Chains A and B, each alone.
Chain A
């Protein structure tokens, strides 16, 4: 059952990702990107990461994609006449480079050595306390400093966006 769901949603994610790259209209690209993000959220659920799956749907598929759609509609861009780059040899070279990258990735996956030390949070232990509670506990104790830095990053980004988007200084 689990492997069945994995193949369905993995194929859906890949198909939607291909459509993101090949669609002419950026709005269709954005819609298919939302589909990819949802499929990846389902894969997170299969991996017992309920909190991250919920955040993926809320923050990625919700907030970030709304931002994208706002930008696309604000700019009122015409369709690209040619979806891909005008220079054909550049396109071929980039696809060849990407395929080489993919083979490098698969090489690393199949010929890796060992998997590191296993922790003690097996799915049964996580099921006792609950995934969200564990994430919250570790986020506010072990990773408190990165958490504060993240809030600072968001604040700086917010101020930067207001300054950049203002018409006159």
Chain B
């Protein structure tokens, strides 16, 4: 059996790559994909712990995370399309009307 630490470290690596994507990229859609990457890393942690603690509750949590992710992606992409109609760009450096 693969040790639990291997799964946790893999999930940490995936989460860190997601954080780097959010902080470094300027395209809103790619930032969204990086957020999906982070959510997936957390899902992997949930499933690994649910397996090693002999419990099934973690899998229910993952289903809830997936529900929230689906809702978040749908609303986020609708917002991006609405912003794109006005500003004609998806670069977060140029979407700065809220900045004061």
Tell me if chain B binds chain A.
yes
Contact B66 A55 (CB under 8 A): yes
Which of A36, A122, A135, A167 interacts with B40 by CB under 8 Å? A36
Tally of contact residues, A, Cβ under 8 A? 84
Cβ–Cβ contact B26 & A85, under 8 A: yes
> Would you list which residues of chain B between 25 and 53 have a CB under 8 Å from chain A?
25-27, 29-30, 32-34, 36-37, 40, 43-44, 47-48, 50-53
Please tell me if A83 contacts chain B, counting CB pairs below 8 Å. Answer: yes
Establish whether residues B24 and A29, one from each chain, have CB atoms under 8 Å apart when the complex forms: no
- Closest Cβ of chain A to B72, distance in Å, is 8
* Majority secondary structure of chain B interface residues (helix, strand, loop or mixed): helix
Tally of chain B residues near chain A (CB < 8 A): 70
**Which residues in B have their C-beta under 8 angstroms from that of A126?**
56
Chain A 53-86, CB-CB to B under 8 Å as 1, else 0, gives 0011001100110011001101101001011111
Residues on A facing B (Cβ under 8 Å): 2-3, 6, 10, 13-14, 17-18, 20-21, 26, 29-30, 33, 36-37, 40, 43-44, 46-49, 51-52, 55-56, 59-60, 63-64, 67-68, 71-72, 74-75, 77, 80, 82-86, 91, 94-95, 97-99, 101-102, 105-106, 109-110, 115-123, 126, 131, 134-135, 138-139, 143, 146, 150, 153-154, 156-158, 160-161, 164-165, 167
CB-defined A-B contacts under 8 Å, sample of 15 = A2-B2, A10-B10, A14-B10, A14-B17, A17-B14, A29-B29, A30-B33, A43-B10, A47-B48, A49-B59, A98-B16, A121-B56, A150-B67, A154-B67, A161-B75
A164 x B82 contact (CB < 8 A): yes
For B3, give the chain A residue with the smallest CB separation. A3
Selected contact of A98 from candidates B7, B23, B25, B64, CB within 8 Å: B23
Choose one: A14, A72, A102, A154; the contact of B29 (CB below 8 Å). Answer: A72
B residues near A (Cβ < 8 Å) are 1-2, 4-10, 12-21, 23-27, 29-30, 32-34, 36-37, 40, 43-44, 47-48, 50-57, 59-60, 62-64, 66-75, 77-82, 84-85, 90-91, 93
Instruction: Report B14 CB to chain A, min CB distance, Å.
Output: 6
The answer to whether residues A157 and B9 also contact, given A21-B20, A52-B47, A150-B64 and a CB cut-off of 8 A, is no
